[in-house]
Amino acid sequence: MIENQNIQREEMSYDVVIIGAGPSGLATAIELKKLNPETSVCIIEKGSEVGAHILSGNVFETKALDELIPDWKEKNAPIKTKVSMEEFLFLNKKNGMNIPTWLLPKSLQNHGNYIISLANLCRWLGEQAEALEVEIFPGFAASEIIYNEDGSVAGIQTGDMGVDKEGQPKDTFEPGIILKGKVTVFAEGCRGHLGKQLIKKFELDKNSSPQQYGIGFKEIWEVDETQHQEGKVLHSVGWPLDPKTYGGSFCYHAENNQIYIGYVIGLDYQNPYLSPYDEFQQFKTHPKISKILKGGKRISYGARALIEGGLQSLPQMHMPGALLVGCDAGTLNMPKIKGSHTAMKSGIIAAETIQQHLYDKKELSVFDTIFKNSWLYQELYEARNVKPSFRWGLIPAMIFTAIDQLIFKGKLPFTLNHLHADHETLKLAKDSKKIDYPKYDGQLTFDKASSVYLTGTNHAENQIIHLQLKDPKLPISYTLEKFDEPSIRYCPAGVYDIQYNKEKDESEFIINSQNCIHCKTCDIKEPSQNINWVTPEGGGGPNYANM
């Protein structure tokens, strides 16, 4: 942001200002209008259009949508492919063992769910919201929180446009404006950069375990007809990940001979030499997987962090003047790897809360009561012990999960807490084993540059670098020295690099911020929390089409 405090900023007021047009933000807006069409609602979205920054698996449970828009079928929602077949594989290097689906806990079964593109569902939800007179402004990022004098949240300020690298206004300078709401709803998704500030300022997480995250990759492939079984859902654990690292794959057979294939890895991994990107690339070469993809064509690539802490890590979701919903708070159900329906439900609950707040003068803390009485709370409660059990390793965790989920249905009388935040888990490079990943073959596996190219990511040139280092020396003096600069490996877009400067005879930390695809992994995993992701100019970032 520009330092000059004298800038005149325009101000606009709404009853409710929502940050982020993902499933949670859109559900909040739609439910608010359903409850009272007079409530004025706006949504701002940093992507160049609704859906441009949405990346998800996605096997979709319609439970929350059934409540929000019961006639979604008649309204032609882009939810068409019913799950028709399911497989769960335990992979070793050469082979895979099928785990019969009846043995799987109910939370891992997908009967009745649909294979969808969440980005396209959001585009459709955006249209539904606009038809209810919600104002949606894509291409604008919320860059700062605005507070009232009494410390409550008043709204947000949108980012300045047309500021150069040095922070000076260019000819095209357009100051950000202030958007004020009686209530502001933060729905930025996993690791929202404003949500992060709110959690800290209002100590919303003082009673919760450290938050847990994962990084998720996704590619869309067009495959040969003979390899495609529309409606099939395939999950795997095991190879190529080592048994200590939490993660697994998904492979969904969608419409039009397309496959949505991806990999999720817990960011509490310990080996700084692990490269999540390369684990995913390597996974595709497994005989069980490569046979599906061979002869096919990769048409999309992307990555996004997921929030996995569950109920133990969930912060308080209300604070004076504002609510935190969806993955910005952490409502994802980890054993299911589903966060869309839970994000939407949290939005519906937020809308009910705001309705009572605006018209019945209730405090925003009624959120807690409505939440505790909802199926959302019940669902997250039952799922709570699965992820933490994985610190015992894959096999014991799977056995525990089977007992916990199949026999006790998540009702065991204790809660396993998460022990560490993800940035604390890396071992020193000198104590870790280097990993030799195979070369990319250009058929099944690809280098980062050609992958990033498919994301359509772009940031206007000559703007302030949106990946801020709290201490610019630290990457060389600490992270490189101790951890062999893991950002080179965990960033899915090749933003970070170390280059040797001959003249100065020293290594330099390079940030190719233009490539950033807004996954937020660096903000989470950097061992000294030195990298702070802030919003670049609105409209920048990936341009995902059907993710």
Partner 1 sequence: MKILVAVKRVIDYNVQIRVKPDNSGVEKDNVKMSMNPPDENAVEEAIKLKDSGEVTEVVIVSIGQEKCQDTIRTALAMGADRGILVKAGDDIEPLAVAKTLKNIVEKEKPNMVLLGKQAIDDYCNQTGQMLSAILNWPQGCFVSELGINDSAITISREIDEGLEQLEIQLPAVVTCDLRLNEPRFASLPNIMKAKKKPIEIIEIESLGVDTIPKVKYLKVEEPPVRQGGVMVADVKELIQKLKYEAKVI
What residue ranges bind ligand SF4 (CB under 6 A)? 467, 491-493, 495, 516-522, 533
Please give the structure tokens belonging to residue 226: 């003979």
Residue 100 DSSP class: P
Q: Torsions phi, psi of 436, nearest 5?
A: -95, 105
Neighbouring C-beta atoms of residue 203, cutoff 10 Å: 12
**Binding at 453: pick from ligand SF4, partner 1, ligand FAD, none (beta carbon under 5-8 Å per type):** partner 1
Interaction residues for partner 1, span 386-445 (CB under 8 A):
none
CB of 193 to ligand SF4, least distance (A): 10
Q: Which does 17 bind (CB under 5 to 8 A by kind): ligand SF4, ligand FAD, partner 1, none?
A: none
Q: Which is nearer to ligand SF4, 231 or 486 (CB)?
A: 486
CB 512 → ligand FAD: shortest distance, Å? Answer: 20
Positions of E strands within 256-313: 258-266, 297-307
Partner that binds at residue 517, options partner 1, ligand SF4, ligand FAD, none, CB closer than 5 to 8 Å by kind: ligand SF4
CA-CA distance, 416 to 158, in Å (whole number)?
Answer: 40
CB burial string 29-53: b at 16+ within 10 A, e below: bbbbbebeeebbbbbbbbbbbbbbb
Which tokens hold the place of 435? 């990993």
Cβ–Cβ under 8 Å, residues 342 and 348:
no
For residues 32 and 323, is the Cβ–Cβ distance under 8 A? Answer: no
Contact 182, 153 (CB under 8 A): no
Residue 514 DSSP code: G
* Nearest to partner 1 of 133, 363 (CB atom): 133
Q: How far is the CB of 499 from ligand FAD (least distance, A)?
A: 30
Of these partners, partner 1, ligand FAD, ligand SF4, none, which one is at the site of residue 253 (CB under 5 to 8 Å by kind)?
none
* Contact between residue 337 and residue 265 where contact means Cβ atoms under 8 Å apart: no
HSE, side-chain direction, 13 A CA sphere, residue 232: 14
Q: Which is nearer to partner 1, 346 or 546 (CB)?
A: 546
Q: How many beta carbons lie within 10 A of that of residue 273, not counting itself?
A: 17
Distance CA 443, CA 421 (A): 37
User: Per the structure block, which two tokens stand in for 176?
Assistant: 């950000």
What CA dihedral angle connects 469, 470, 472 and 478, to 10 degrees?
Answer: -100
Q: At its nearest, how many Å lie between partner 1 and the CB of residue 184?
A: 16
Distance (Å, whole) CA 333 – CA 314: 11
From ligand FAD, partner 1, ligand SF4, none, which one binds at residue 351 (CB under 5 to 8 Å depending on kind)? none
CA distances for 516 relative to 7, 455, 457, 498, angstroms: 29, 10, 7, 16
120 makes contact with partner 1 (CB under 8 A): yes
Q: Please pick, from the candidates 35, 147, 162, 478, the single residue that binds partner 1 as defined by CB under 8 A.
A: 162
258 residue type, one letter: Q
Residue 120 interaction partner, one of ligand FAD, partner 1, ligand SF4, none, beta carbon < 5-8 Å per kind = partner 1
Q: Would you count residue 52 as binding partner 1 (CB under 8 A)?
A: yes
For residues 133 to 152, the per-residue mask of contacts with partner 1, x marking binding by CB under 8 A and - elsewhere, is --x-x--x------------
Q: What is the CA radius of gyration of the chain?
A: 23
What is the footprint of partner 1 within residues 82-111 (CB under 8 A)? none
Q: Find how far residue 39's CA is from the centre of its chain.
A: 29
The answer to the question of residue 359 lying near partner 1 (CB under 8 A) is no
Least distance from ligand SF4 to the Cβ atom of residue 55, Å: 11
Q: Toward ligand SF4, which CB reaches closer, 119 or 397?
A: 119
Q: Are 240 and 279 in contact (CB under 8 A)?
A: yes
Q: Indicate the helix (H) or strand (E) that contains 72.
A: none
**DSSP per-residue letters across 369-431:** HHHHTSHHHHHHHHHTTHHHHGGG-HHHHHHHHIIIIIISTT--S--PPP-S-GGG-PPPGGG
Judged by CB under 8 A, which of 49, 144, 481, 484 binds partner 1?
A: 49
Q: What's the closest the beta carbon of residue 534 comes to partner 1, in angstroms? A: 19
Least distance to partner 1, CB of residue 298, Å:
11
Q: Does 7 bind partner 1 (CB under 8 A)?
A: no
Q: Considering only residues 24, 353, 463, 546, which one is a binding residue for partner 1 as defined by CB under 8 A?
A: 546
Q: Are 524 and 213 in contact (CB under 8 A)?
A: yes
Q: Is 463 in the site for partner 1 (CB under 8 A)?
A: no
Which C-beta is closer to ligand SF4: that of 191 or that of 253? Answer: 191
Query: Quick one: what does residue 137 bind among ligand SF4, partner 1, ligand FAD, none, with the CB cut-off 5 to 8 Å set by partner type?
Result: partner 1
In this structure, the strands spanning 153-158 and 142-147 are: antiparallel
Binding at 141: pick from partner 1, ligand FAD, ligand SF4, none (beta carbon under 5-8 Å per type): ligand FAD
Give the shortest CB-222-to-ligand FAD separation in angstroms.
19
Binding mask 256-275 for partner 1 (x = CB under 8 A): xx------------------
Out of 359, 375, 408, 453, the only residue in the binding site for partner 1 (CB under 8 A) is 453
Applying CB under 8 A, the residues found at the interface with partner 1 are: 10, 12, 48-49, 51-52, 117, 119-120, 123, 135, 137, 140, 158, 161-162, 170-172, 174, 177, 179, 222, 256-257, 299, 453-454, 456-458, 543, 545-546
